[in-house]
Structure 1
Amino acid sequence: MSDAVRVLVVEDEALIASFVEDALSDGGFEACSVHSGEEAMCTFCDGREGCRVLLTDVNLGDGISGWELARQIREITPGFPVVYMTSASAPDWQSQGVDGSVLIQKPFAPAQLAAAVSQLLGGATSPG
């Protein structure tokens, strides 16, 4: 078991999810990927994965959106770090995003992803 910070990745497109997992792992993080907001809530509430950051796509198909998912998680754990990924929904971030969240626009470079997560965690990639 590594002591890398675990990131809950919510992305409904398999190719993007795998790109994100690689980017996080290159940045020293560990990805825990799910494919819907509902699945993410189960994983989060379960707590077994010990995820410390939410990295979610905004448009997640038929279920709850990334916006809604982040709000639900923040109701359980106020201040939980949130990074949104989106190609088209960036203008909605001001009205829909949770406080203190970060938004990165697709397409993004792998390093941008790790940098956004590090920034939310106060620049530290080690636990504590």
Structure 2
Amino acid sequence: MTSDAALPDLADAISPNLLYLRRYARALTGSQSTGDAYAAATLEAVLADETAFDRSLSPKVALFRVFHIIWHSGGAPSEGRENGLRAAAKKHLDKLTANTREALLLSTVEEFAIKDIAEIMDVSVEDADKLVKTAYREMEDAVAGKVMIIEDEAIIAMDLEFLVSESGHRVTGIARTHDDAVNLGRKDPPDLILADIQLADNSSGIDAVTDLLKALGPVPVIFITAFPERLLTGERPEPAFLITKPFTETQVRTAVSQAMFFSSTETLRA
């Protein structure tokens, strides 16, 4: 049991890494609510037994290691009867080699070194490296579809279009404003939406996505922002998939592959 005197020090070690744990948990589960539930369970486990938080490791690695234990002890989350896109997602996920998805997200989204991934997942460095490489191959081969890009910065939009196309998907078009996005989405309905938060006409990418989902129905969404801490506050509905600017090629490829697997359409309210 943790002593009261130890709590402030433990809190100082954990607090800076909560944002990243929640981001990872949401990407792993494909859901804001389920991801946050696993993150909360991780904190409860650490508070119940401080020895679970290995202080010989960096605070972030130690926290993610506890999460990994909680994740595997509880199994993959279930949110009731699965149908539609979520059922299709589960079908794809069931074909993946065990632990590859976790290893890939830890490597690309959270940018852990292979040795840290090995510590988190309690495997050898060689096995961690194999898991990441296997995940790249399996994820990119599993699902292909139509992707709509909502981005007002031309260079970033071109980079996203290239990365999405190179991953085997078809880009339906690039929208720079709210109205452009809604019109493009209705003209050529996408399988996934990749959206910036702030658009050229000072409109909200969040509003554009919300309006698109009303018209199109369930579609996976990835939001892009330079300020993730403003979105992942836990105070309102938030995106399950989030890319931080400046992004890397592997982050985009991984996020797109993950989002194609899941039917999450959770968005922010303005």
TM-score, scaled relative to structure 1: 0.78
Structure 1's consecutive aligned runs of 4 or more residues displaced over 6 angstroms after TM superposition are none
Match of 1:28 in 2: 168
For residue 114 of structure 1, report the CA deviation from its aligned partner: 1.9
Return the alpha-carbon distance in structure 2 between the equivalents of residues 73 and 96 of structure 1.
17
Q: Summarize the alignment of residues 5-84 of structure 1 with structure 2, pairs less than 5 Å apart.
A: 5-31=145-171, 32-46=173-187, 49-84=188-223
State the one-letter code of the partner of 2:206: W
Secondary structure of 1:83's match? strand
> Where is the helix percentage greater, Structure 1 or Structure 2?
2
Q: Give a deviation string over 1:92-125, Cα, whole Å, max 9, x none.
A: 2553645xx41110111122112111111118xx
For residue 90 of structure 1, report the CA deviation from its aligned partner: 4.4
Which deviates more from structure 2 when the two are superposed, residues 79-88 or residues 29-38? 29-38
Q: Summarize the alignment of residues 86-125 of structure 1 with structure 2, pairs less than 5 Å apart.
A: 86-88=225-227, 90-93=229-232, 94=234, 95=236, 97=238, 101-122=240-261
How well do the aligned residues superpose, as a CA RMSD in angstroms? 2.0
Return the alpha-carbon distance in structure 2 between the equivalents of residues 23 and 68 of structure 1.
25
Return the alpha-carbon distance in structure 2 between the equivalents of residues 45 and 97 of structure 1.
24
Return the alpha-carbon distance in structure 1 between the equivalents of residues 202 and 186 of structure 2.
17
Return the alpha-carbon distance in structure 2 between the equivalents of residues 82 and 72 of structure 1.
13
Task: Specify every segment of 5 or more residues in structure 1 that has no aligned partner in the other structure, as ranges.
Answer: 124-128
TM-score, scaled relative to structure 2: 0.40
Percent of aligned positions that are identical: 27
Contact 1:38–1:63 under 8 Å retained in 2: no
